[in-house]
Structure 1
């Protein structure tokens, strides 16, 4: 059955904790803005639409230890939309997997922080970026954990444009057939891809029904409501024997009103002026979150 995650602003995590998570998400967006001000720029739009999702996962939901990044009992995260690597690097740095100062080396010669994530970076489970492969990797991680007797979960974050890849649906069939109920997919449903609106390129709706037809337990949520994200993702698996998918309704470029919902934010190389503008906007958000 398809269900919708609750919409109340404050749930089990409470006001103080919610404020902390919101501040953390803003810090992640600040780091991404700084990386996108470098000479190579970066995929800002998809990193911003997913920032709240990654905040909920890394700072509340997932069982992990930055001091033991390869602990066999850890939960695993696969960034299938690997082009949003700047968002993952920012999240890993905030969580303590690498020094925040290292983010300044992004895309520079000799840096391990490449345009797409690689295993050389602590906390990165697999090199990704060839779209459509992440869910299959997640199936492998989830099945491996089950065979090893671990109760860990595997989370896979995908873009909605990525769902145009047939390999996604092959993996979806396999996951349901294997009963991988410790596998959780999250669709960053920001409705935009490089060349325009996703539904004008390839119709996706009714997306929830499609996942349900492939044997998955489905919920939908506001992908920027941290309390709802924590509650929904933290209670997986939703149905015994079925993998779970959360369709997170998001806004590309969320956090910078002058870029939100525009294809222009897909890949950004900030000028000095626009970097300062972005930092000022995010700085005001941080002040409001800490009041």
Structure 2
């Protein structure tokens, strides 16, 4: 078990999310940066579906009430056990009674803390993911809370592994394919989408990232009934400023989707700080994502 002493701006448990409930209006949720979540679990020998603690911009402090093998990945935070620096992106042994503290990362937003066995809060609809959109799942971690460690172990910890290629770049590129309402937009808007150096707005969270730049306009004003959304969908609201849906996106929406970002490119966006330049490029037809 761990006891939360400080939670920072936001700390939640995340596993692979709630698959198969979209038709009932339940978001999938899950980690903002799945590769970093998976790596943390591999480093401690957990099953892929074990829950980690996802931490926004550091500030988490926890006490280990029992011995544990831990790993920290994602946005590169400084980590100390009882004030002594420990390795990032590697397995670390935490004796009972020691206190782990995480600093603000050098770059990026989301860091992941895994403990061998996984964090064992009560699942809701088959998942331990905290859903910040609907409120389903365990609530965000709070000081004084005790979180059990479970037994979701898959094998020995990884002897070697590689960190996900996060960097402090402030200019990223993502591949897009035409969305279901692509033809609703003017030719100029279609071209602006893939030729503009968009800026990532501060109005960004686990649900979606807002891009700022020129207005994307429709061929003619039209009303759209609510329809299904998938992760990576780029909706365009009446403001004409595109919104890219991330891990905690709603399952439906009423704004037209001009394009869809390849899911494998989304962790890069999720880890980007406001002000990052975002370029969208057309994915070549027939080529794998």
**Which structure is higher in helix share?**
1
| Shorter-chain TM-score tier | under 0.3
TM-score normalized with structure 2 length: 0.26
**Which structure's CA Rg is the greater one?**
2
